[in-house]
Amino acid sequence: IQTLSGPVRIERLSDSDSGIIELKLDRPEAKNAIGKEMLRGLQNAIETIGNDSSANVVVVSSSVPKVFCAGADLKERKLMSASEVQQFVNSLRSTFSSLEERKLMSASEVQQFVNSLRSTFSSLEALSVPTVAVIEGAALGGGLEMALSCDLRVCGEESTFSLPETGLAIIPGAGGTQRLPRIVGRSAAKELIFTGRRISGKEAVSMGLVNYCVPGGEAHHKALEIARDINQKGPLAIRMAKQAINKGLEVDMPSALDAEEECYEQLLDTQDRLEGLAAFAEKRKPSCAAL
């Protein structure tokens, strides 16, 4: 796999773990806040992983201590009214001979940025293989929305979670209002979104927001344990299971059962299935090479 650098890196583990891909957020100076460069990095990483047929599971984590992701870059996307922009540009004109320092986004650029953020998280969610988010520290705003786009979440005890957008007079618009209630239920999601309250890892696990809450510093280890487990299973079966669950949750029950049947049928003629059955009959582990 191509190893991407910059604020988003991807790496493949080796030997028997070679189906596991690590996607790491690495923008320490801004606590992994998602600005334009970070967003491009995420898009490239997701596309690269999506094109890699030997990827079986993705672990999404942060290289920056005590933070998963501080959300959208609030400095880059600061919204100004038209007259404020005019005032700002005028003041820059008098201060600098060029306008290169004007890095802030206009309202329409913010709109574009949010649309890309939304579609990037949707492509993360749509990866055919399972994704596990590792949260050690803060997962806030867009950072939490990114974690919600993963299939599983594991956190350290000192982690904090919040969707603080209403405090900024916006809503969690990169999937938060839709994915959070589907994970924790509508009542808990409404309370968290209306108040922006920060919750701890322990509370997050009690409401089903994360799958596991482990002692601080051990979340990555736990996520790898889960990833290894998944990596040992029939890779096509895992993809079909994800597809069946995701498709089924979007439609009514009869259509959901049809979706499940379609996915099941795709597995009937595979070498993987025959090897799984043979291994059971011969009382041995299925051969990973065949799987």
Q: Bridge partners of 155?
A: 135, 213
End-to-end CA distance of the chain: 20
Known catalytic membership, residue 156: no
- Out of 85, 170, 226, 267, name the contact with ligand CO8 by CB under 6 A: 170
When asked if residue 138 is in the footprint of ligand CO8 (CB under 6 A), the reply is: yes
CB of 76 to ligand CO8, least distance (A): 7
Which one of the spans 27-35, 210-218, 239-247, 274-282 is the region binding ligand CO8 (CB under 6 A)?
A: 27-35
Strand order of the β-sheet with 57-62 is: 8-12, 20-25, 57-62, 131-135, 152-156, 212-214
When asked if residue 216 is in the footprint of ligand CO8 (CB under 6 A), the reply is: no
- Out of 19, 41, 71, 201, name the contact with ligand CO8 by CB under 6 A: 71
Known catalytic membership, residue 145: yes
When asked if residue 74 is in the footprint of ligand CO8 (CB under 6 A), the reply is: yes
Other CB atoms within 10 Å distance of the CB of residue 70: 21
Out of 19, 71, 142, 201, the active site residue is: 142
**For the residues of 201-228, what is the DSSP string, one character each?**
HHHHHHTTSSSEEESTT-HHHHHHHHHH
The one-letter amino acid at 2: Q
When asked if residue 124 is in the footprint of ligand CO8 (CB under 6 A), the reply is: no
Known catalytic membership, residue 157: no
Known catalytic membership, residue 6: no
CB of 31 to ligand CO8, least distance (A): 4
Residues 6+ apart with CB under 8 A from 144: 69, 71, 161, 162, 163, 172, 176
Distance CA 122, CA 135 (A): 19
When asked if residue 165 is in the footprint of ligand CO8 (CB under 6 A), the reply is: yes
**Which of 220, 267, 221, 219 has its CA nearest to residue 241?**
267
Out of 45, 55, 70, 72, the active site residue is: 72
When asked if residue 72 is in the footprint of ligand CO8 (CB under 6 A), the reply is: yes
CB of 236 to ligand CO8, least distance (A): 35
For residues 69 and 140, the answer to whether their CB atoms sit within 8 Å is yes
Out of 19, 139, 145, 219, the active site residue is: 145
When asked if residue 142 is in the footprint of ligand CO8 (CB under 6 A), the reply is: yes
Which one of the spans 9-17, 135-143, 199-207, 266-274 is the region binding ligand CO8 (CB under 6 A)?
A: 135-143
**For the residues of 64-107, what is the DSSP string, one character each?**
STTEEE--B-TTTT----HHHHHHHHHHHHHH-SSSTT--PPPH
Element (H, E) at 23: strand 20-25
Residues that bind ligand CO8 (CB under 6 A): 30-31, 33, 67, 70-75, 114, 138, 140-142, 164-165, 168, 170, 172-174
Q: Which are the catalytic amino acids?
A: 72, 142, 145, 165
